[in-house]
Amino acid sequence: MWADEFANFLATKFNTAKRFGLEGCDAFIPGMKSCIDALADHGADKVIIGMPHRGRLNVLANVVHKPLETIFAEMQGVAPEVDSKKNWSFNSGDVKYHLGTSYTR
């Protein structure tokens, strides 16, 4: 439900921003969360996710818990230039979800 509502919100709030919704990939979000939980339960130290555009914002928000405030700021082009804690740089390109994130579970 969270993934679907998040996709609907983004489509409404940022209707002119380039983004790729979750259409057709709804089960991917809980599936990805379950996989990461299982990996962590079995001792995995690190998970690196490389994925196509479809659903990427949803993965950032609902799987790796990138703060929504950060995602929304990036969509509006007002994120800070460098976040020394996260070691990522803000870029004003047309696809804000390329910025990624890191998360410790």
Question: 3-state SS string over the chain?
Answer: CHHHHHHHHHHHHCCCCCCCCCCCCCCHHHHHHHHHHHHHHCCCCCCCCCCCCCCHHHHHHHCCCCCHHHHHHHHHCCCCCEECCCCEECCCCCCHHHHCCCCCC
60 lies in a domain?
yes
| Model confidence at 81: pLDDT above 70 | no
Of the pLDDT bands very low, low, confident and very high (cuts 50, 70, 90), residue 105 is confident
15 lies in a domain?
yes
At 40 the pLDDT is 93
Domain count, the chain: 1
Mean of per-residue pLDDT scores for the chain = 77
What is the span of the domain harbouring residue 67? 2-99
At 96 the pLDDT is 57
104 lies in a domain?
no
